[in-house]
Amino acid sequence: MSLPPGMSAGHSLLPPKKKRCRKKPSDQLAQKKPNPWGEDSYSDIIAKALESAPDGRLKLNEIYQWFSDNIPYFRDRSSQEDAAGWKVG
């Protein structure tokens, strides 16, 4: 079988595949639902709590306490009833 002029064996007679448009990371960040306590993720605020400890270690209840002491969103929800959404009782 001979190929049309200008085509090599690596060419296809099929139409080119559509390229998938992947979202850029910046687009994904723009669509990310904001946290009610601010820009930081849970891992960010846990890291801040751990960094505040002299030895870099805190127990879970100490991390919860740091949240309540340092972040207004959690401070306003420090009662047992209000904490149900972010803290295990």
Write the DSSP symbol of residue 2: P
**Residue range 18-57, pLDDT digits in tens:** 666 666 655 555 566 788 888 899 899 999 999 999 999 9
pTM of structure: 0.53
Residue of 82 and 77 predicted with greater confidence: 77
pLDDT of residue 79: 64
50 exposed, middle or buried (CB, 10 Å; 0-12, 13-18, 19+)? middle
**Domain assignments of the chain as residue spans, ordered by start:** 39-85
* 74 touches 86 (CB < 8 A): yes
Residues 6+ apart with CB under 8 A from 40: 48
pLDDT at 3 over 90: no
Give the CATH fold of the 39-85 domain: Arc Repressor Mutant, subunit A (1.10.10)
DSSP state string for 22-85: PPPHHHHHHHSPPBTTBS--HHHHHHHHHHHSTTS---HHHHHHHHHHH-HHHHTT-STTGGGG
